[in-house]
Copies of this chain bind each other. A is one copy, B any other.
Amino acid sequence: MATRRPTYSFKTPCERCPLRAIATFREFSSEELEFVSKFKRCELAVDAGATILVEGAHSAHLFTVLSGWGFRYKTLEDGRRQILNYVMPGDLIGLQGTIMGEMQHSVEALSPVSLCVFERDKLMTLYNKHASLAFDITWIAAQEERILDEHLLSIGRRTALERAAYLIAFLFERGKRLKLFNGEASIPITQQHVADTLGLSIVHTNKTLKKLANRNLICWQERTCEVIDGDGLMAAAGWEGLGEKVRPFI
């Protein structure tokens, strides 16, 4: 695949941000909206498979995902890869790099992704002038922490089958909430991604996913996972769901 160079542009004005139409996201005050408009520098579009941020990079930007799917990951020297979490519309990426200097993980696109690019230098202004937005950023960081807690519980203590069911139910719930599915619930990941998320080998991941497919919970085709029975997955995982209602975004 010939990866095109990333495309910069300034298309969507924040006033007509498509994310604002989605029910899970909280309303902005007009004053907040005005600031965010100025905070946003431009938009960036990348292809599926493109690397958005690299571990070790210093001058990372701050982004919000406008559309598309991606994932955060870390690798060991010998190449072993661990996927940490998935990024979807409304997610803030690059916060670690912006706040603490250096990125400690990479981010890669699973589908074509478009991003809002924010002025890194204006972040301090946000904290100084817009406490409610500053609070939102902390909220987002705390939410990410919460999800990582759940993943850690999953990898550490759930069985392979439970883990797989949990992961797919988790992605399904998030996608559903963001109205990412029309009709079919297709998650754009390969079994290799699942393996690298669950800490399993591909072979064993394949056999485990096959069990879920045999139970008629999912079905795998063309590099995507189709969710057939979300509730069945949650039951198989022993997972209660995200339990989150309205959330902020920047």
User: With A100-B142, A100-B143, A199-B157 given, is the CB distance from A76 to B131 under 8 Å?
Assistant: no
Set of chain B residues within 8 Å of A74, measured between Cβ atoms:
149-150, 152-153
Identical copies of this chain, number: 2
Residue A59 at the chain B interface, CB threshold 8 Å? no
A124 and B135 form a contact (CB under 8 A)? yes
A137 and B138 form a contact (CB under 8 A)? yes
Residue A145 at the chain B interface, CB threshold 8 Å? yes
Residue A82 at the chain B interface, CB threshold 8 Å? yes
Closest Cβ of chain B: how far from A245's Cβ, in Å? 10
Set of chain B residues within 8 Å of A95, measured between Cβ atoms:
138, 142
- Which residues from chain A sit less than 8 Å from chain B, CB to CB? 72, 74, 76-77, 80-82, 84, 95-96, 99-100, 104-105, 124, 127-128, 131-132, 134-135, 137-139, 141-146, 148-153, 155-158, 196-199, 238, 244
User: With A96-B142, A138-B137 given, is the CB distance from A157 to B80 under 8 Å?
Assistant: yes
Set of chain B residues within 8 Å of A152, measured between Cβ atoms:
74, 82, 84, 148, 151-152, 155
User: With A105-B149, A152-B148 given, is the CB distance from A128 to B131 under 8 Å?
Assistant: yes
Known pairs A84-B153, A131-B134, A138-B141 / 4 extra A-B pairs, C-beta < 8 Å: A80-B157, A105-B149, A148-B152, A155-B155
